[in-house]
Structures are given as structure tokens and as C-alpha cells.
């Protein structure tokens, strides 16, 4: 797995963990970036070891190339000295050095290509980490906004699914309205009763006054019918 893929997994793992466990997004993001930087350091060490292997292969290749050149020089010297057998031996040694040098060269070139790719991946990884650090605050804000929206949604769902409290409130409100209406009706009836009592009193008083007037008129009528000087006639009515 490449360095960037591993770092991506680390970052995603921390974000998902923060969302699943409802932990502080800022804390989790900071930890994620810390882990990414730790992985970056380890990746740099791995790339450094790969570069060291490349340098070692290059040195080994150069050693055998130098040996090849040295055996070739010795072969030439032997030919000049008329030592053909010795020259042949030198040429065989040169051939062995060439073969070994060729093998090391292939390994070095393959290692050099791998190191180049590792360097590019490392640069890309570092760029991504720097980008993540720049976007950290934005991600924290998005996470907090998502958390707030989730709480609002949960509250709305809870209100929609549990209406008993509101229904109890409505029932109590209606009951209080009924009690108030009943009290107002009782007050109105009491006031009406008081008005009727007053009217009865005045009616009785008027009735009594009317009866007295009738009695007085009746008495006067009787007195006019009596002869003068009869009993029941007052002194004021007696003629001089």
C-alpha cells in the first residue's frame, strides 16, 4: 500500500470514529493530523533507507567497473610483456567483473527508479498533509454544523413522535376555560338574583302603598255617606 493510501486511511478512520462516537471533531482532527505527520516521518525514514540502498548498489557497481578497468589494464600490460597466458587470465577476471558490474547496474537502475517514485509520493503526501492542515478549521466547522443539524432533527422527530405533553396542555387549557365560563355564569346568575330581589321589594312596597291609598279612599267614601253629627265624624267636620 502506498504512503498516501495509508495516510488517507488514517485520516478517514479518525473522522469516522469522531462521527460514530460523537467525540470532539477538533480533537479528532488534530489527532489525525498528528498521526499523519508521524506517518510522514516514518515514510521519510523508509525513503531514506531506499536511497541508502540505491547508493550502496551504485558503489558496488562502480567497484566492479573499476575492477574491470584494472584487469583490462593488466591484460594490456601482460600482452606487452609477451605473457599471453597471463593476459588471458586477466581478461577472464575482467569478464567476471563486467558481469558482476552489469548485474549491479541493473539492480541500481531499478532501485533508482523506485526511489524516484518514492520521492514523488513523499512530496505528494507532504502536500496533502499541508492541505489537510489548512482545511482543518473548515472541516471542524462542517462537522459541528452537521452535529447541530443532527440534534435539531432529533429534537423535531422527538416532538413529532411525542405529543402527549402538548395534548395534556391543551386539555388543561380547555378545562380552565370551562371553569372560568362556569364561574362567570354563576356570577351572572347571582347578579340576576339580586336584581330580582330588589324588584320584588319595590313591587311589594308599591303594592302596600297602593293598598293604603285604596283603604283611605274607601274610608272617605264611607264618611261622606254618614249623616252629619253621626259617630265617627271629627270635630272639624261638626257645623257651628
Of residues 46 and 28, more confidence is placed in 46
DSSP 160-175: HH--HHHHHHHHHHHH
Of residues 176 and 68, more confidence is placed in 68
Q: Which of 162, 185, 204 is the last residue of a domain?
A: 162
Lowest mean pLDDT among 11-15, 166-170, 233-237: 233-237
Q: Which of 137, 162, 187 is the last residue of a domain?
A: 162
Tell me: pLDDT of 51 over 90: yes
The phi and psi torsions of 101 (rounded to 5 degrees) equal: -60, -40
Residue 237 within a domain? no
The reply to whether 111 and 131 lie within a common domain is yes
Residue 126 within a domain? yes
Tell me: pLDDT of 155 over 80: no
Provide the domain limits for residue 179. Answer: 165-226
Residue 138 within a domain? yes
Question: Is 0.75 surpassed by the pTM of this model?
Answer: no
Region 212-234: what's the mean pLDDT? 66
The reply to whether 53 and 15 lie within a common domain is yes
Tell me: pLDDT of 226 over 90: no
Residue 188 within a domain? yes
The reply to whether 19 and 117 lie within a common domain is yes
Residue 231 within a domain? no
The reply to whether 44 and 145 lie within a common domain is yes
Residue 240 within a domain? no
The reply to whether 32 and 80 lie within a common domain is yes
**What are the CA-CA distances from residue 79 to residues 92, 93, 98, 166 (Å)?**
14, 15, 20, 114
The reply to whether 108 and 169 lie within a common domain is no
Residue 233 within a domain? no
Mean per-residue pLDDT of the chain: 79
Residue 106 within a domain? yes
| Residue 129 confidence (pLDDT) | 86
Segment 93-132, tens digit of pLDDT: 999 999 999 999 999 999 999 999 999 999 998 898 888 8
Of residues 117 and 149, more confidence is placed in 117
Of residues 8 and 116, more confidence is placed in 116
Instruction: Classify the phi-psi angles of 22: left when phi > 0, otherwise alpha if psi is within -120 to 50, otherwise beta.
Output: left
The reply to whether 78 and 94 lie within a common domain is yes
Q: What's the domain count of the chain?
A: 2
Amino acid at each position: 500500500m502506498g504512503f498516501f493510501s495509508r495516510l488517507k486511511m488514517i485520516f478517514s478512520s479518525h473522522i469516522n470514529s469522531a462521527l460514530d462516537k460523537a467525540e470532539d471533531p477538533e480533537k479528532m482532527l488534530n489527532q489525525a493530523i498528528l498521526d499523519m505527520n508521524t506517518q510522514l516521518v516514518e515514510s521519510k525514514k523508509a525513503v531514506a533507507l531506499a536511497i541508502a540502498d540505491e547508493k550502496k548498489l551504485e558503489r558496488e557497481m562502480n567497484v566492479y567497473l573499476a575492477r574491470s578497468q584494472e584487469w583490462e589494464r593488466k591484460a594490456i600490460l601482460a600482452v606487452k610483456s609477451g605473457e599471453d597466458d597471463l593476459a588471458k587470465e586477466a581478461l577472464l577476471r575482467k569478464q567476471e567483473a563486467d558481469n558482476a558490474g552489469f548485474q549491479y547496474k541493473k539492480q541500481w537502475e531499478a532501485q533508482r527508479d523506485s526511489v524516484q517514485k518514492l520521492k514523488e509520493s513523499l512530496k505528494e503526501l507532504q502536500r496533502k498533509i499541508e492541505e489537510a492542515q489548512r482545511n482543518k478549521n473548515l472541516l471542524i466547522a462542517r462537522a459541528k454544523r452537521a452535529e447541530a443539524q443532527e440534534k435539531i432533527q432529533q429534537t423535531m422527530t422527538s416532538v413529532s413522535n411525542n405529543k402527549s405533553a402538548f395534548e395534556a396542555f391543551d386539555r388543561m387549557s380547555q378545562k380552565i376555560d370551562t371553569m372560568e365560563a362556569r364561574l362567570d355564569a354563576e356570577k351572572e346568575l347571582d347578579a340576576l338574583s339580586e336584581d330580582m330581589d330588589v324588584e320584588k321589594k319595590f313591587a311589594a312596597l308599591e303594592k302596600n302603598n297602593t293598598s293604603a291609598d285604596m283603604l283611605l279612599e274607601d274610608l272617605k267614601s264611607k264618611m261622606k255617606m254618614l249623616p252629619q253629627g253621626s259617630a265617627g265624624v271629627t270635630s272639624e267636620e261638626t257645623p257651628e
